[in-house]
Amino acid sequence: MARRVKLQRREGVALVTLPGAGGAQDPGFDADLCASLNGALDLCLKDEGLRAMVLRAGPGGWPVAADPARDYDGPGAARLASLTGRLAGAPVPVVAVLSGRISGGALALTQAVDLRMALADTVFAAPEYALGLIPAGGGLVRLARRAGAAQALSYVTSGHDWDAQAAMGLGLCDAVASEGAIESAAVSAALQVAEGGGEMPFAPRDGAVAAPQRALDDLAAARAGLAGGVMAPVAQRAAEVVEAALLLPLSEALDFEAVALDDLRAAELAQALHHVAQAERSAARGGFAPAEGADLHRIALWNQPDRLALALLQQGREVIMGATDPGALEPAFSRIAHAQEAAVQAGTLDPDQREADWARLGAALDPAGLSGADLVLAAPGAEEVPLLQALGLPLALAGFAAARAQDLRVDTLPGLVALSAGGAEAEPLLAPVADLLRATGDLVIQAAPGLGARLRAAFWAAAERAVLAGATPEAVDAALREYGVAEPPFVQVDRLGIDTVLAQIAAAGRAPGAFFTFLQLEGQTGRAAGRGVYLYAGAMPQSAPGLPEILAALRDEAGIAPQRLGAREIVARVLAELAGEGAQALQRGQAHRAGDLDLLALRVLGFPRAHGGPLFQADRAGLLATRTRLRALAAEGAPAPVTLWDVLIRNGRKFGDLDS
């Protein structure tokens, strides 16, 4: 249903009320809301008796898009620019009463008014920078002209929220008032100026332009402190917009801001960051079909972290903790007690609530003690699985493939949990159990257990294949390190040990390559042995002596004619094999979203966030071109591309389309 702006009149003052924030599904300043606000402004400005306007929001605060880029998507920035122009050019004083979270379209609109009054609990944020974008719709230009260059850049690039007092010091608002007084104060201030009885305590909208040299000096100092790395182009573009705001006429500066936004939005960085953010939002809030009737109040934990127990207690659930080693329970309970006491001392937990939470915590010395739970979350030993299943309770098992259709399977990875159903009987539990697992802040995706390990195996196998094709291990590691991978493949192989790597490759259903097999046969098993892919004779790994000759012999034996592989080709080969593994998982139903597979690559492989993930990169490179590369790699021993590639190409679709 379209959201509407409400309009009231009081003593010649138009009270324009925006719909309150809509939470996780808030579309922000979309076309419907902007049209409604335009209509309200039309009515206000036709009123010959109008003396002032007050712009405010309903319960929950100003609209804030769940997707921070949505306000500027497509024509969004142009819609906002038109609205902010109307507010800035209004013939009567305009006051904004700020509440909730101010960002995106709310920032753009509130920088165009005469006076900005914030409630004490208002929060200001600029999430655009983390997505490779800048605030737009006139928001950045008007903030810079009003507050100054250094303040505007600090706000945009800080990456953190600002409370109302800090925001006032930065120039984002003019005053902070209490809930009961702010509206009457806003109306009084607007009327006072309308009647010519005084000036409002606001920073002039072009206050920084009045002293351009000082503003430019501040800008130069702020530019010197901007961060480097992958976000440097975004920070520098923001600085250029701020400079334009100070030096150009307002209309030209606004045009400059719009062009800068379009350029940033078209860049790979912004598209990749936005893709990852969308995947994370899905993993943090949804991604599972909703289920009815699952009342999970009493949760049993077996060999589970005490932080999960603490989080479930905070949700008001009963928790039974058990462990293979009963001696582990006492220190776990002690850590929970200390965490609760720290929360009481910090004022975030009421002492009575702490006692109530503690009363809902129990212990089990063996699996039988978990009886009566609504769900058992367990990481059992092999001999404990039958004991847990004999309880007849819903089970979510980590570390073992579920043997029954009614069991869930859990794969815990860094900051990420992969959850899947053993069969159709367990599917109604997916959504409620995912909500439980999110209690600690982890992301939860629907994916088969071991999928992260398969991506790792594909990563190592692709790197080894590049070496056998003609590259050196140093060149492969250097190319992927430059691309942004946290730990290059051969450094990782040496850290884990070749025996471990080969075991994981075999578990993923892949045959070991000639290079890794040679290392194992020669006892060059990794860093712990002093020699693996590299030689560890000092503080830094060194090239292993004689390796070029060894590789030449392995290639000759395999009938491989070596190629000259540059860094770009090395990266493209590895990305293609990872995308091939992801496509296979999607086709087999082992994963349900391409974005989830990209999240796995980020969390398990240390894939660079700025490049989005291997399936995102396949979409960007083109599925036809990537499939062609996979077919060529299949001639070198890589898995052939599955039929999902053909289906998507034939229908003009991409992997990203599967998520929508």
Name every residue whose Cβ is closer than 8 Å to that of residue 10 and which is 6 or more positions away in sequence: 187
Tokens representing 542? 């060194």
What CATH number has the domain spanning 453-659?
1.10.1040.50
Ranges in the chain annotated CATH 3.40.50.720: 298-448
Place of tokens 């860093």: 527
Among residues 169, 146, 136, 158, the alpha carbon closest in space to that of 246 is found at 146
pLDDT the model gives residue 227: 74
Among residues 139, 140, 132, the alpha carbon closest in space to that of 235 is found at 132
What superfamily does domain 298-448 belong to in CATH?
NAD(P)-binding Rossmann-like Domain (3.40.50.720)
What's the whole-number average pLDDT of the chain? 91
Q: How far apart are CA 257 and CA 252, in angstroms?
A: 9
Q: How far apart are CA 172 and CA 126, in angstroms?
A: 11
Q: Which of 51-60, 223-232, 309-318 has the lowest mean pLDDT?
A: 223-232
Tokens representing 173? 């608002």
Contact criterion met (CB below 8 Å) for 565 and 472? no
Q: What is the mean pLDDT of residues 11-27?
A: 87
pLDDT the model gives residue 394: 92
pLDDT the model gives residue 203: 66
Which DSSP string corresponds to 535-561? E-SSSS-EEPTTHHHHHHHHHHHHT--
Q: What is the mean pLDDT of residues 455-480?
A: 97
pLDDT the model gives residue 2: 62
Tokens representing 617? 């990169």
Angle between helices 547-558 and 451-469 (to 10 degrees): 90
Distance of CA 55 to the CA centre of its chain: 32
Q: What is the mean pLDDT of residues 535-554?
A: 90
Decide if pLDDT at 404 tops 80.
yes
219-235 burial, b for 16+ CB within 10 Å, e for fewer? beebbeeeeeebbeebb
Contact criterion met (CB below 8 Å) for 280 and 609? no
Q: What is the mean pLDDT of residues 472-484?
A: 97
* Other C-beta atoms lying within 10 Å of the C-beta of residue 263: 12
Give the type of residue at 354.
R
Contact criterion met (CB below 8 Å) for 336 and 310? yes
Tokens representing 336? 């929970």
pLDDT tens digits, one per residue of 173-187: 998 888 777 777 777
pLDDT the model gives residue 534: 95
Q: How far apart are CA 318 and CA 283, in angstroms?
A: 25
H/E stretch holding 320 reads strand 318-322
Contact criterion met (CB below 8 Å) for 246 and 210? no
From residue 276, alpha-carbon distances to 157, 320, 477 in Å are 19, 36, 24
Do the strands 395-398 and 318-322 form a parallel or antiparallel pair, or are they unpaired? unpaired
Hey, which CATH number is domain 6-266, 3.40.47.10, 3.90.226.10, 3.40.50.300, 3.40.50.620? 3.90.226.10
Sheet strands side by side (includes 52-57): 6-10, 13-18, 52-57, 94-98, 115-119, 175-177
Tokens representing 278? 């969308």
H/E stretch holding 311 reads helix 306-314
Ranges in the chain annotated CATH 3.90.226.10: 6-266
Higher pLDDT, 609 or 423: 609
pLDDT tens digits, one per residue of 361-375: 999 999 999 999 999
pLDDT the model gives residue 45: 87
Give the type of residue at 416.
L
H/E stretch holding 490 reads helix 489-496
Among residues 382, 241, 278, 357, the alpha carbon closest in space to that of 69 is found at 278
pLDDT tens digits, one per residue of 321-354: 999 999 999 999 999 999 999 999 999 999 999 9
Count how many Cα atoms sit within 13 Å of the Cα of residue 472 in the half-sphere of its side chain: 12
Among residues 37, 27, 28, the alpha carbon closest in space to that of 4 is found at 37
